[in-house]
Structure 1
Amino acid sequence: MAVYSMTGYASATVSSLQVAPQQVQAAAVNVELRSVNSRFLDLVLRLPDEYRALEPALREVVSAAFKRGKIELRVSNERGADATQLPPQVEQLQQLSQIQRLVQDSLPKAAPLSVYEALQWCRTSAPPVVLDETVLAAARQSVERLREARGREGDRLVSILMERVERLRALALQAAPVLPQVVARQQQRFLERWNEALVSAGANSAATPQALAERAMAEAAAFALRIDVAEELSRLGAHLDEITRLLRAGGEVGKRLDFLIQELHREANTLGSKSAALELTQISVEMKVAIEQLREQVQNIE
């Protein structure tokens, strides 16, 4: 299943003769759809007065295809020259001939109708063009085209998101070996500090070298526990795995991805707060940048 963006544009124009070939007159209807991102489905209809009754049906057509996004649907008439150039129907001419005979029987001096007058009468006496089904047909075509456009944009978003996910995986791999190095350096500092204290105290010190070394090791162990980010890195990796799974599965994944991005932010912030080395601080900052880039793109996913 594909991943769909919430941004896109589509339009469709349908002639009344395509929907009802028996129509005497021809008219065309254009339906435009514009879509941007939104937390929910927000549908705005711009309809001429004669199509107000179609609003429930149009809402149903759109809501059946989309679940999120601010979508504007605009309907406009496109009655062109083709509507005035249609030849008069035989039935109309026969009816007009009968009317003319009746008039001339009562008014013998009445002038016969000209071709122009006959065409004008046929045009005005033609049954009105019913465009309700034409509007709905144009709306369905436009909805299908918008869905295709949002699907193409969704494919591009997936590529961008997967790049950011791989970047975060690489940063997590960089952070994993840094922690033992930081702990080892700090352990050495503790040992050096206690050795200096032992030398300064000299013979007056009641503590043995072994006891001081053990205390230094205990301090180093406590320090290691305070800065341990293994759990955060593990959860971050699990969130990245879930994001990858959702992007591959497709469908309506925008809200779930948005929640996972929040969790990634939480883990990156914790990583930064526990940072005891410049290397980890830099990795945390780069992670936050990549996560923010993820968040901006996820906002556009349905």
Structure 2
Amino acid sequence: MAVYSMTGYASAQSSPPAGAAGHEGAKATPSGRLGLEIRSVNSRFLDLAFRLGDELRASEPALRELIAGRLKRGKVEVRAAIEAPAGADLREPTPRMLQRLGAVQDNVRGWLPDAPALSVAEILRLASMDGAVDVDWGEAVQTVAKQALADLLAAREREGARLATMLLGHLGQLRELAQQARPLVPQLVEQQRQRFLERWKEAMGLAEGSATPEAAQDRALTEATAYAIRIDVAEELTRLAAHLDEIERLIKKGGEIGKRLDFLIQELHREANTLGSKSAALELTRISVDMKVLIEQMREQVQNIE
């Protein structure tokens, strides 16, 4: 199953439905072209917003059901409108229509004397609406929406594949850093053990025999052991490796993995922080910082995965 991003864009257009007729049995005239576009960005849940023209508002419930059946997460905006055919706004009113508009205007102003007169722009707009085809766009909206939705899913799949490749690359880098960190702790423990022994030998010389060499050595080894426990990061590295394996498994599995990946990224960050807090060497601190940089980059990418 593929990995899907929540970011994508698609659009589709359609001609008016065939077979529509104008008023008084006149020959059908084009009512315009239906255009629909879908934009989506990341969101914790599925958040749908519609910007539909007045002729298309009745299609919103069907559109909502269609999109909710295919998308699970993301802030999705759907815009649809009817684009008037070329030249529709410049349709010249007939004398009969002008006479009709004049009569209607006189009638209105007889009741409302303060009503403003019709402007040229308003007359041209009314002329373009006269004899307009009464079109049911419901079926066309569904057809166009399905096409746009298929294109959106394809775009989200392509972006998801790119994100998956980047995440797998970061996983490889984190594993390399973990391998660099593993041998550092035993080396640090042995170095510190030698330092403790040297200090206690010096202390024995200053104490002039007030303590036995065996007791001094035992004390040094006890301190070294406590130090080793304090800086031991083997458990953190083991958990980090387990999280990396689970993230890789989820990416290869695909599907709705965004929320689980987000949780695992938080766990990775926790282990890298603990690794840094236990650091007893500059090299280990550098590894911890490099890990956190990579994990933060992964977190930003995971935010876009469905």
TM-score by length of 2: 0.81
State the match for 1:120 in structure 2: none
Gapped regions of structure 1 (runs ≥ 5): 85-122
1:232 corresponds, among 214, 231, 236, to: 236
State the match for 2:124 in structure 1: none
Q: CA deviation at 1:163?
A: 1.0
SS of 1:223's partner is helix
Percent identity of paired positions between Structure 1 and Structure 2: 61
State the match for 1:269 in structure 2: 273
State the match for 1:13 in structure 2: 13
Letter in 1 for 2:48: L
Q: Deviations over 1:163-193 (max 9, x none)?
A: 1111111111111000001101110110010
2:6 paired with 1:2: no
Q: CA deviation at 1:226?
A: 1.0
Moved over 3 A (4+): 21-27, 81-84, 123-127
2:135 corresponds, among 115, 129, 135, to: 129
State the match for 1:52 in structure 2: 57
SS of 2:10's partner is strand
State the match for 1:211 in structure 2: 215
2:197 paired with 1:191: yes
Q: CA deviation at 1:80?
A: 2.2
Contact 1:25 1:83 in 2 (8 A): no
2:299 paired with 1:295: yes
Q: Distance in 1 between matches of 2:199 and 2:132?
A: 103
Letter in 1 for 2:305: I
State the match for 1:106 in structure 2: none
SS of 1:16's partner is coil
Q: CA deviation at 1:16?
A: 2.9
Q: Distance in 2 between matches of 1:29 and 1:218?
A: 80
Q: Distance in 2 between matches of 1:227 and 1:126?
A: 81
2:42 corresponds, among 12, 37, 44, to: 37
State the match for 2:255 in structure 1: 251
State the match for 2:289 in structure 1: 285
Q: Distance in 2 between matches of 1:125 and 1:193?
A: 103
Between 285-294 and 47-56, the greater mean CA deviation after superposition: 47-56
Contact 2:67 2:149 in 1 (8 A): yes
Give the superposed CA RMSD.
Answer: 1.8
2:66 paired with 1:65: no
Q: Distance in 1 between matches of 2:170 and 2:14?
A: 43
Q: CA deviation at 1:257?
A: 0.3
Contact 2:12 2:37 in 1 (8 A): yes
Contact 1:40 1:68 in 2 (8 A): yes
SS of 2:35's partner is strand
Q: CA deviation at 1:129?
A: 2.1
SS of 1:252's partner is coil
SS of 1:33's partner is strand
Contact 2:56 2:81 in 1 (8 A): no
State the match for 1:178 in structure 2: 184
Q: CA deviation at 1:126?
A: 7.7
Q: Deviations over 1:224-246 (max 9, x none)?
A: 11111111100000000000000
SS of 1:200's partner is helix
Q: CA deviation at 1:290?
A: 0.6
